[in-house]
Amino acid sequence: MKKNDSEAKERKMMLEKYKKILLERQIQLAQHIQAMEKSVLESPMRDATGDLTNLPTHIADISTDTFSQNLAIELLAGEEGVMKEIAEALDRIEGGTFGICEHCNQEIPPKRLEHIPFARLCVKCKGEDEKRNSRTQWNAMS
């Protein structure tokens, strides 16, 4: 077997592995998002004693409910962002660009993909990207 055939076969196996991992994570996240959405929708309906009501028993309960609801909404937004990243990673698998850094076009190390299977940047480029973003945010606050 030629070296190129062997490399192509290895790449195909790697892509199948990550496709399976991404699809499993997508299902898990969808279930988690659904449970969180249900929790957010039901939480304002309960008072501090756990009884169903629309009227909190104390002003502090309103604050607690609002804080909890805002936190859950922010978590949902983060989870939905990960779902988008997973969908885009699956598209990259189909397009043949999965595992290739979008900035430097080098292979993303397998260790990085093991931890973040939807990674689009290698560690070096991600670090540079974060530095640029932090400088931009810092300058915007000045």
Amino acid in position 22: L
Q: Average pLDDT for residues 36-51, to the nearest whole number?
A: 60
The pLDDT confidence band at residue 48, using thresholds 50, 70 and 90, is very low
Q: Average pLDDT for residues 122-136, to the nearest whole number?
A: 89
In CATH, the number for domain 1-98 is 1.10.287
The pLDDT confidence band at residue 38, using thresholds 50, 70 and 90, is confident
Sign, CA torsion 87/90/96/100 = positive
Per-domain residue ranges of the chain:
1-98, 101-142
Q: Average pLDDT for residues 102-128, to the nearest whole number?
A: 96
Q: How many degrees, rounded to 5, is the angle at CA 112 between CA 111 and CA 116?
A: 125
pLDDT score of 115: 94
Give the 3-state secondary structure of residue 16: helix
